[in-house]
């Protein structure tokens, strides 16, 4: 399965379909550092990348409301950000990965905001483009938030792939 995904990642990278600037193949390699806490498990339960369970499943993270993977116990700050309408885009993921705690402080307006993710990555572009390759839909900036507001509660299919 990894070979198929690697080929798909290469095709995506070479086709110019990447949504942010970054290298999908390099991001796949860099993801090895992330998988100590995170896995990528598709909606059928197939582990595309086996990883730890300290962090939430990252399958479909782009376009998903923050803090909403069913069955994962998030910290209060990221849940509050999601409840306030934070929907992950590639740009927001890059900001978060660079400084999770600082990002949540800014998003929530709470100077005491905390993040369970303590790892900071200075240049997360490749990782984010790699993660985006596992997202079914790539909404335009701002489009996801409007769609979320119009839909209200997450649908049953959203709950299987939400963060």
Tell me the CB-side half-sphere exposure of residue 91, using CA atoms within 13 A.
6
- Are the beta carbons of 7 and 120 closer than 8 angstroms? no
Residue (of 31, 110, 52) closest to 23 by Cα position: 31
For the chain, the domains span 2-159
Residue 20: what pLDDT? Answer: 53
Residue 87 backbone phi and psi in degrees, to 5: -115, 130
Assign domain 2-159 to its CATH architecture. Answer: Orthogonal Bundle (1.10)
Across the chain, which has 163 residues, the per-10-residue mean pLDDT values are 43 41 90 94 94 94 96 96 97 97 97 95 94 71 38 36 41
Residue 116: what pLDDT? Answer: 95
Two tokens at 97? 């990965």
Two tokens at 2? 């990894």
Residue 135: what pLDDT? Answer: 85
Q: What is the DSSP letter of 54?
A: S
Two tokens at 129? 């483009």
């Amino acid at each position: 399965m990894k070979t198929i995904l690697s080929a798909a990642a290469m095709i995506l990278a070479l086709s110019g379909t990447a949504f942010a600037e970054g290298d999908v193949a390099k991001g796949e390699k860099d993801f090895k550092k992330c998988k100590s806490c995170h896995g990528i498990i598709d909606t059928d339960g197939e582990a595309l990348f086996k990883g730890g369970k300290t962090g939430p499943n990252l399958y479909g993270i782009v376009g998903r409301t923050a803090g909403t993977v069913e069955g994962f116990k998030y910290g209060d700050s990221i849940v509050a950000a999601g409840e306030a309408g934070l929907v992950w885009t590639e740009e927001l993921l890059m900001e978060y990965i660079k400084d999770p705690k600082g990002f949540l402080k800014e998003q929530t307006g709470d100077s005491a905001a905390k993040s369970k993710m303590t790892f900071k990555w200075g240049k997360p572009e490749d990782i984010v483009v790699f993660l985006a390759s596992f997202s079914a839909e790539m909404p335009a900036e701002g489009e996801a938030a409007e769609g979320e507001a119009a839909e209200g509660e997450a649908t049953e299919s959203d709950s299987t792939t939400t963060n």
